[in-house]
Amino acid sequence: LSGNADTDFEKMMEVIGENFGLGNEEKIPLDDKDTKLLKDAFNASMYPSEGEDVDLTYGKYEPLATVVIKMMSDKAAVGWTTHAHTGVNVPVYALGIGAEYFSSYIDNTDIPKFIEEIVIEGVH
């Protein structure tokens, strides 16, 4: 970063345009509202306010990445149930001891419970 927010934002927009197509008039053009959202998120990410908590450990979302992903999703008309997951079932397969625990649709929160039962308590 150069320390100049406007210059740094323009450089970041070049990277975002090259890698995601956002701001590229031939791919995904942006209006003034989009640009303001991106600039605000960029500033929050790169130049946090004095005393602002910037620790992104354990689930806090990085502002610029969140805005870029949401903007891409909105422009593609893709909806998400969270920032990181869809609500679609995904198959989970297993082979070997305890495979029967994973033979049908199961709640994702049951997976670690089944693994614990198989590894620690043994399969009955």
pLDDT tens per residue across span 105-121: 888 888 889 998 888 87
Give pLDDT tens digits for 21-42: 898 888 889 999 999 999 999 9
Q: How many CB atoms lie within 10 A of CB 81?
A: 9
- Evaluate if pTM is beyond 0.75: no
Question: 95 and 69 in one domain?
Answer: no
pLDDT band of residue 11 (cuts 50, 70, 90) is very high
Query: 82 lies in a domain?
Result: no
Residue 90 clears pLDDT 70, i.e. is over it: yes
Same-domain check for residues 16 and 52: yes
Can you tell me the distance from the alpha carbon of 39 to that of 103, in angstroms, rounded to the nearest whole number? 48
In this prediction, residues 1-7 reach a mean pLDDT of 68
Paired tokens of 31: 């209006």
Report the amino acid identity of residue 88: V
Residue for token pair 């805005």: 67
95 and 123 belong to one structural domain: yes
Question: For the segment 38-69, what is each residue's pLDDT rounded down to a tens digit?
Answer: 999 998 888 877 656 655 555 567 889 889 98
Mean pLDDT for the chain?
82
Residues 42 and 12 in one domain: yes
Give me Rg for the CA atoms of the chain: 21
- Extract the tokens encoding 9: 């934002």
46 inside domain: yes
124 lies in some domain: yes
Q: 33 and 93 share a domain?
A: no
C-alpha span between 68 and 30 (Å, rounded)? 12
Q: Answer for the pair 40, 12: CB distance below 8 angstroms, yes or no.
A: no
102 within a domain of the structure (yes/no)? yes
> Is 60 exceeded by the pLDDT of residue 19?
yes
The domain in which residue 35 lies consists of 5-75
